[in-house]
């Protein structure tokens, strides 16, 4: 019986969704990202819950509240996600990893300046974005995929 209870408890923990905080000032951009991500990034990761915000103060409020597993910032948002990324890295103690969306390939150097953990170009690609986000989550949590386990 204890084994069943432990297994049930483990299942509940495994089902806890990953919280993805998405900042984009443009509603269409938020919709594109949310649709590209879907409900689950990969079979070895829990489902995700996307928390959408349209302003920089809302991002900081959500980060202060805690519980955010990863952040996606629109580099083209007004005001921009690049500066916000740098601010998060400088001001949020043990903050979650940040993925930046960038419209121009030349923005890679800005993402480096902003201390982004990952960068994905526009337009939103429904294969590239979830793959990059899943990789970022695995790197930040040390998760090992079931296929990589002995």
pLDDT tens-digit map of 107-129? 777 888 899 999 999 899 999 99
Mean pLDDT value across residues 43-49? 96
Contact (Cβ atoms closer than 8 angstroms) between residue 81 and residue 26: no
Structural domains of the chain, with CATH: 14-139 (3.40.50.2300)
Which token pair is 140? 């930040």
Which token pair is 76? 């083209």
**Residue 20, pLDDT score:** 98
**pLDDT above 70 covers what percent of the chain?**
85
Q: Is residue 123 reached through a cis peptide bond, with omega within 30 degrees of 0 on the bond before it? A: yes
Which of these, 74, 47, 37, lies nearest to 59 by C-alpha position?
Answer: 74
pLDDT in tens, 9-39: 445 455 799 999 999 999 999 999 999 999 9
Rounded to the nearest 5°, which phi and psi values hold at 72?
-115, 125
**Residue 2, pLDDT score:** 45
**Residue 103, pLDDT score:** 85
Contact (Cβ atoms closer than 8 angstroms) between residue 41 and residue 133: yes
Tell me the C-alpha distance between 28 and 24, whole Å.
Answer: 9
**Residue 148, pLDDT score:** 39
More confident residue, 85 or 5: 85
Tell me the C-alpha distance between 100 and 82, whole Å.
Answer: 7
- Cα Rg of the chain (Å, integer): 16
């Amino acid at each position: 019986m204890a084994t069943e209870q432990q297994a049930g408890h483990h299942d509940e923990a495994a089902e806890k969704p990953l919280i993805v905080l998405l900042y984009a000032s443009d509603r269409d951009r938020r919709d594109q990202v949310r649709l590209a991500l879907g409900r689950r990034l990969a079979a070895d990761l829990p489902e995700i819950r996307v928390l959408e915000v349209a302003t920089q103060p809302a991002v900081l409020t959500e980060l202060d509240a805690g519980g955010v597993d990863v952040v996606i910032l629109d580099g083209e948002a007004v005001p921009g996600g690049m500066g916000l990324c740098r601010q998060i890295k400088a001001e949020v103690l043990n903050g979650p990893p940040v993925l930046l969306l960038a419209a121009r390939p030349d923005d890679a150097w800005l993402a480096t300046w902003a201390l982004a953990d990952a960068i994905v170009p526009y337009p939103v690609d429904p294969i590239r974005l979830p793959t990059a986000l899943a990789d970022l989550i695995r790197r930040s949590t040390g998760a090992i995929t079931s296929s990589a386990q002995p």
